[in-house]
Each structure stands twice: as structure tokens, then as C-alpha cells.
Amino acid sequence: MKRAIFPGSFDPLTLGHYDIIKRGITLFDEIIVAIGINASKKYMFSLDERQQFIIDAFKDEPKVKVVTYKGLTVDFCQKNNVEFILRGLRNPADFEFEKAIAHTNRDLAPIETIFLLTSADTSYIASSIVRDVIRNNGDYTKLVPDSVRVKP
């Protein structure tokens, strides 16, 4: 069984994330969407809200599992028998950043990182941009799956 972890903070889940997960499903038997917990980071959405956004977005997809974790992604992979890390690339800056992480991960454990290019129509979407749109009362619904909604 080929399993991949798709790690991130998902604050919130965007259409870019959604696209990578949907396309990853065609490559792997299981995609574990793993929400990393970082106590030093201030999130817009609670961990429970972020988890529910993803669960609701993939409620009809049995190949997607949603978990939370702390610590190194490679440690999570080794403890859970996951051989692949799935990452999306939007632009050259993402590539350089992700390449450094992938090389570090390979030094730490025998884990392969698989990169998928984001679709052209979602390549500009970042969670930080979505949060800014939300903070400024813009129409964020064009940037996220239907499961992601701000409570009034």
C-alpha cells in the first residue's frame, strides 16, 4: 500500500491544497492530510476547525485520512509507516524552499518527497492571502472549498 502524507497548517484549506490532494489520490492508495501543530504559531482558525474543513471537503473520499501531529514530519512518517511526503509547488520560490526541506528530510530518514505543480487556476492562492481577504471582509469563498466558511 502506497501511503503519502500531505503536511501543512491548512489555515485554512485552500483550493490549491484541495487540488493537490485530489490529484494525489490518483497516485497513492492513501493520502494522510496531516495538520502540524506549532505552539509558537498564531492561527486564524482553531485546530478543530481546520480539521473539520478538511474532513468535510473529503467526506466522500475514503482514501483521504485527516490527522494532527507534532514534531518532525519524517518522525511521523516513520512511526506511521508512510514512505512519501506529498508537496505542492506554486512557483520557483516554493521549489527552492521545498527542495531544501526535502533534502533535509532525506538526510534524516528514507522518505521520498513527491512534488506536484499546482494547477494554473490555483497557483496564486496561498493561505496567507486567504486570511488577509477574510480579515478585510473580502469574498474568500472563491479561494477555498465549500467546506471552509467563516462563522458570522
Region of 93 please: left (phi>0), alpha (psi -120 to 50) or beta.
alpha
Catalytic-residue membership of 127: yes
Catalytic-residue membership of 40: no
Catalytic-residue membership of 90: yes
Catalytic-residue membership of 50: no
> 6: closest CA among 15, 24, 14?
24
Asked whether the beta carbons of 150 and 134 are under 8 A apart, the reply is: yes
At residue 26 the predicted structure's pLDDT band, cuts being 50, 70 and 90, is: very high
> 16: closest CA among 86, 67, 88, 64?
88
pLDDT at 41: 86
Residue 152 pLDDT greater than 80, yes or no: no
Active-site position among 65, 90, 99, 106: 90
d(CA 49, CA 150): 10
pLDDT one-digit tens code per residue, 69-92? 999 999 999 999 999 999 999 989
What percent of the chain clears pLDDT 70, i.e. is strictly above it?
Answer: 100
